[in-house]
Amino acid sequence: MRIAVVGSGYVGLVTGACFADLGHDVVLVDNDDKKLEALNNGEVPIHEKFLPELLQRHRDGRIKFSGDLQAATRASEIVFIAVGTPPTESGDADMSYVESVAREISGAIDGYKVIVEKSTVPVYTNEWIRTIITRNGTNPELFEVASNPEFLREGSAVTDFLYPDRIVVGVDGERAAKMMREVYSPLTSGWYYGRAHAIPRPDKAQIPPRLIITSAQSAEIIKHASNAFLAMKISFVNAVASICESVGANVEQVCDGIGTDSRIGPRFLKPGIGYGGSCFPKDLLAFRAVAKEVGYDFRLLEEVIRINEEQRRRFLRKVRSVLWTLRGKRLGVLGLAFKGGTDDIRESPALLLVQELMREGCKICAYDPAAMDRAKEAISQVNCNGIEFAGDPYQAAKGADAVLILTEWEEFATLDLDELRKAVKYPIVLDGRNLYDPATMMAHGFSYYSVGRPPAIKQEAQLARVAKREHA
């Protein structure tokens, strides 16, 4: 099929590249000339596994980049809108980019087309898009609006797209439903998975995926409710982890016991320093705003947000309780991205903690496998005194009063512990992501503090008492 994808941000790029790999002809539209030039020159603006090879595979073939939205609309049967919907001051999503795309598309609808909202949007957006397009003079018979929420995680967005748990399409008319079925048929029929150059199947992916057709409003709610539920799962387990710390239980064992109940499931039950990223924090605020607007006081969401913020403060208290005073302390920080596998630092709990520690007077030496450039830029806007960046984890740990693990990079879970031990000034590790087994850390001579598990403290009886008191 001939598809236009509007917006070459994270969702748009991945969507466009994957549609091309499914055999569709894609025009990726953006109004940022610099971005288009970079894409045309073969640059890949985001750190995402398999994306460079998909773009390389289809550049100059099935995927083209363009600044001309009207021409792209005329040339396509389906237009996916994947532009940003940043939060406003009050938390609701700013829909002005979506609106301006709808307005511009309107002038180019010269035959039947399906306009699909892919951005995360509040309920009724599809109706607004329809209204704007009609208001600008398009015959309503010539188009339909569908909602096709994405469930892409950063770092695994390409495989999430090609091996999804489900595909949700919210659409009210049969003609548009048929076209959307066709768009995804390479996946739902299993055709893609038999191809020689298909992106490899991740463990546990069920193929072929199910396509769920719903009303447009239901699809919009599915997106908000899915993200809110996942964030709630994380906040829930973080709250349980805090109780585990108080009673001396081990949250890992608790999660094993909870997660094996098939009604609950083991995923998204990892405690830590809280969720971050460009989606959960923003989507929770947006869902809360939607609920408020329709007169529902969704206080559960407030609590999810509150627990998430408290989780970071709790970790900071833990650092303080272990190190006693913070001013002048040298900390080796491993991780700045909001999670492993990405260079994204938006709402990163790791970065927020680093900034807090800097305010407290700590000297930070940080390392992240992918997010350092972005972190440097973000920190330089606030304050760059007290932070330096290292070339590897051991350099970050050199001479440190303590090492803090703040992002769940695989690389940080397989460190050479003897080398780390040699690098530090004091063998203290505070792990905000529970990457290590406490007994292993102790065997390597570390005092090890994690989240929701009893600390493993070596020859620090005094410290143990203080830390225990703090945990309680």
**Shortest distance, position 138 Cβ to ligand UDX, whole Å:** 30
Question: Rounded CA gap, 35 and 13, in Å?
Answer: 11
**Shortest distance, position 311 Cβ to ligand UDX, whole Å:** 9
Q: Does 234 bind ligand UDX (CB under 6 A)?
A: yes
Q: Judged by CB under 6 A, which stretch of 85-93, 96-104, 144-152, 463-471 contacts ligand UDX?
A: 144-152
Dihedral in degrees, nearest 10, Cα atoms 186, 190, 193, 194: -100
CA distances to 65, 212, 230, 257, 288 from 265, rounded to whole Å, are 41, 22, 12, 10, 25
Of residues 21 and 408, the one with the C-beta less far from ligand UDX: 408
Q: Which two tokens stand for residue 263?
A: 């009604």
Q: Does 24 bind ligand UDX (CB under 6 A)?
A: no
Q: Which two tokens stand for residue 237?
A: 């387990």
Q: Does 272 bind ligand UDX (CB under 6 A)?
A: yes
Neighbours of 67 (CB within 10 A): 14
Q: Judged by CB under 6 A, which stretch of 146-154, 213-221, 387-395, 411-419 contacts ligand UDX?
A: 146-154
Q: Does 50 bind ligand UDX (CB under 6 A)?
A: no
- Kindly tell me which residue out of 97, 143, 151, 236 binds ligand UDX, with binding defined by CB under 6 A: 151
Q: Does 343 bind ligand UDX (CB under 6 A)?
A: no
**Shortest distance, position 421 Cβ to ligand UDX, whole Å:** 27
**Shortest distance, position 67 Cβ to ligand UDX, whole Å:** 27
**Shortest distance, position 277 Cβ to ligand UDX, whole Å:** 3
Q: Does 341 bind ligand UDX (CB under 6 A)?
A: no
Of residues 235 and 447, the one with the C-beta less far from ligand UDX: 235
Report the sign of the C-alpha dihedral through residues 301, 304, 310, 315, in that order.
Answer: negative
Of residues 22 and 152, the one with the C-beta less far from ligand UDX: 152
Strands of the sheet containing 210-214, edge to edge, are 63-66, 25-29, 2-6, 78-81, 113-117, 143-147, 166-170, 210-214
DSSP for 273-321 reads: S---SSSHHHHHHHHHHHHHHTT---HHHHHHHHHHHHHHHHHHHHHHH
Q: Does 269 bind ligand UDX (CB under 6 A)?
A: yes
**Shortest distance, position 36 Cβ to ligand UDX, whole Å:** 25
Question: Rounded CA gap, 304 and 311, in Å?
Answer: 11
CB 434 within 8 A of CB 289: no
Q: Does 49 bind ligand UDX (CB under 6 A)?
A: no
Q: Does 275 bind ligand UDX (CB under 6 A)?
A: yes
**Shortest distance, position 260 Cβ to ligand UDX, whole Å:** 16
Q: Judged by CB under 6 A, which stretch of 166-174, 270-278, 355-363, 378-386 contacts ligand UDX?
A: 270-278
Positions 171 through 230 that interact with ligand UDX (CB under 6 A): 227, 230
Q: Which two tokens stand for residue 176?
A: 């548009």
Burial class (CB in 10 A: 0-12, 13-18, 19+), 327: exposed
- Kindly tell me which residue out of 152, 211, 251, 289 binds ligand UDX, with binding defined by CB under 6 A: 152
Beta bridge partners of 211: 167
CB 442 within 8 A of CB 458: yes
User: Is the peptide bond prior to 208 cis by the omega test (within 30 degrees of 0)?
Assistant: yes
| Set 18, 244, 255, 279: catalytic member | 279
For residue 279, indicate whether it is catalytic: yes
- Please name which of 277, 278, 285, 448 lies closest in space to residue 349, comparing C-alpha atoms: 277
Of residues 12 and 386, the one with the C-beta less far from ligand UDX: 12
Q: Does 315 bind ligand UDX (CB under 6 A)?
A: no
Q: Does 51 bind ligand UDX (CB under 6 A)?
A: no
- Please name which of 466, 436, 464 lies closest in space to residue 450, comparing C-alpha atoms: 436
Can you give 421-468 as a three-state secondary structure string? HHHCCCCEEEECCCCCCHHHHHHCCCEEECCCCCCECCCCHHHHHHHH
Beta bridge partners of 430: 404, 449
**Shortest distance, position 160 Cβ to ligand UDX, whole Å:** 7
Q: Judged by CB under 6 A, which stretch of 26-34, 47-55, 57-65, 274-282 contacts ligand UDX?
A: 274-282
Total residues binding ligand UDX (CB under 6 A)? 20
Of residues 144 and 160, the one with the C-beta less far from ligand UDX: 160
- Kindly tell me which residue out of 124, 268, 298, 426 binds ligand UDX, with binding defined by CB under 6 A: 268
Judged by DSSP in three states, 196 sits in coil
CB 98 within 8 A of CB 117: yes
- Please name which of 74, 44, 79, 73 lies closest in space to residue 58, comparing C-alpha atoms: 44
Q: Does 62 bind ligand UDX (CB under 6 A)?
A: no
Of residues 153 and 320, the one with the C-beta less far from ligand UDX: 153
**Shortest distance, position 278 Cβ to ligand UDX, whole Å:** 6
Q: Judged by CB under 6 A, which stretch of 72-80, 110-118, 250-258, 264-272 contacts ligand UDX?
A: 264-272
Footprint of ligand UDX (CB under 6 A): 150-154, 227, 230, 234, 268-270, 272, 275-277, 279-280, 338-339, 408
Q: Which residues are catalytic?
A: 279
